[in-house]
């Protein structure tokens, strides 16, 4: 996550974050960072594989601005929520969500 000109936030993935940041600063990065040059690195995450990085990037991009700001300043609860299940296959994710839904239903039932 980068802070860019105009107080904008850019989210992307890279193998070498520092090198990618320098690319963005020199104007050889993304179209967005050409228009709004980066000022600093806000937050970075180390992940196990390219697929997890892409999933996390997509999750961060879906966040509303206030949550991105919280994440940038180190909100570990939000970070844990975003990182949860990144390595799961689609079927594993669906199975986990079914289990969670069942658990919520069971918790809502009155004890007899």
User: Tens place of pLDDT for every residue, the chain, 112 residues?
Assistant: 999 999 999 999 999 999 999 999 998 888 999 999 999 999 999 998 898 999 999 999 999 999 999 999 999 999 999 998 888 877 888 888 899 999 988 888 776 5
The pLDDT, as a whole number, for residue 16 is 94
| Sheet with 8-10: strands ordered across | 8-10, 2-4, 38-41
Beta-carbon count within 10 A of 55 CB: 20
What's the pTM value of the predicted model, to 2 decimals?
0.77
Range list of β-strands (E), 2-99: 2-4, 8-10, 38-41
The domain 2-86 having CATH identifier 1.10.20: the answer here is no
């Amino acid at each position: 996550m980068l802070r860019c000109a105009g107080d904008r936030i850019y989210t992307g993935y890279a193998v070498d974050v520092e090198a990618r940041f320098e690319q963005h600063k020199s104007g050889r990065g993304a179209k967005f960072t050409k228009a709004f040059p980066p000022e600093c690195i806000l937050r970075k995450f180390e992940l196990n594989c390219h697929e997890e990085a892409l999933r996390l990037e997509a999750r961060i991009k879906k966040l509303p601005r206030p949550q991105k700001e919280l994440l940038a300043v180190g909100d570990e609860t939000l970070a844990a929520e975003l990182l949860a299940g990144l390595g799961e296959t689609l079927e594993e994710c669906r199975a986990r969500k079914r289990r969670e839904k069942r658990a919520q239903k069971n918790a809502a039932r009155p004890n007899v």
